[in-house]
Structure 1
Amino acid sequence: MKAGGPVVGVLDDEDQMRKALSRLLATYGYQVEAYACSADLLAVLSFSHLGCLILDLHMPDLNGFEVLQTFIDRCVNLPVIVITGHDMPGTEERVRSLGAAAYLLKPVDDAALVAAIRHVT
């Protein structure tokens, strides 16, 4: 990927996951902006130049469902790739109905994640 490509946002409350995803994406040439909580992302969203967002579903402040609903409420048109380690029946359908472009399970398969990012950006 050439420099100047899309910036990928990573919203995950787990420090190790943010670091791992940031390192992985950097090896593919992506610039990454990582956020530890939903409030941090939402505070800068209107000024953001993100090409897509990788969104953890289960977080202590606003969870991924609430973030997706906030995007709908604010008319935010940002492709979202949801990742979760807590897959439950109906979860994928629910996040897709809230606008998620992809749904991946932790531990995230590197190739699947990069393919999803390329598909939405």
Structure 2
Amino acid sequence: MSASSQSVAIVDDEESVGRAIWRLLKSAGIEAVAFTSGEAFLEALQATPPYQPACVILDFQMPGLSGLDVQQRLSGTGLPVIIITAYDGPRVREQARAGGALAYLCKPFDESDLIDAVRSVLDGAPDA
């Protein structure tokens, strides 16, 4: 399955950020769906039929369920997680990696770094 036929979930409480990431992925030929909360994303996974993304880009700090909360709820599902955050620090990085995040990017991040991280997940390449 090619990257362009796999959907990537974007979960960020800042609608403008989610929209910008959606446009960036679309310009790279990657299908994406944006959610403005962890709750909305998890509901979509439980819907009938369920939304089944190839990976999820999670904002670490959100009201309600944080990116870490969502990441913990996804534990054991095999769904690859990419964490994005404006609140970088050793503890945040440690929590994200301990939860199984395949990539960790600080906002503002280089667009090519995000595209590369998503493509490596979609192509099944090991994390660099």
Tell me whether the two structures share a fold, i.e. TM-score over 0.5. yes
1:70 and 2:79 matched: no
Residues 4, 29 of structure 2: 8 Å contact kept:
no
Once the two structures are TM-superposed, the CA of residue 5 in structure 1 deviates from its matched residue by 2.1
> Which SS does the other structure have where 1:50 is aligned?
coil
CA distance in 1, matches of 2:110, 2:6: 20
Aligned to 2:85: 84
TM-score (norm 1): 0.91
Aligned to 1:41: 41
Runs of 4+ in 1 over 6 A off after TM superposition: none
Once the two structures are TM-superposed, the CA of residue 84 in structure 1 deviates from its matched residue by 0.2
> Which SS does the other structure have where 1:90 is aligned?
helix
CA distance in 2, matches of 1:3, 1:113: 14
Q: Compute the RMSD of aligned alpha carbons.
A: 1.4
Aligned to 2:125: none
Q: How does 1:1-121 map to 2 (within 5 A)?
A: 4-46=4-46, 47-72=50-75, 75-121=76-122
1:67 counterpart letter in structure 2 = V
| Structure 1 pair 114–3 and aligned structure 2 pair: CA distance change class (3 A) | closer
What per-residue deviation string (whole Å, max 9, x for no partner) do you get for residues 15-53 of structure 1? 110110011111001111110111111012141221111
CA distance in 2, matches of 1:56, 1:4: 23
CA distance in 1, matches of 2:13, 2:97: 21
> Which SS does the other structure have where 2:58 is aligned?
strand
Unaligned runs of 5+ in 1: none
Once the two structures are TM-superposed, the CA of residue 82 in structure 1 deviates from its matched residue by 0.2
Residues 3, 119 of structure 2: 8 Å contact kept:
no
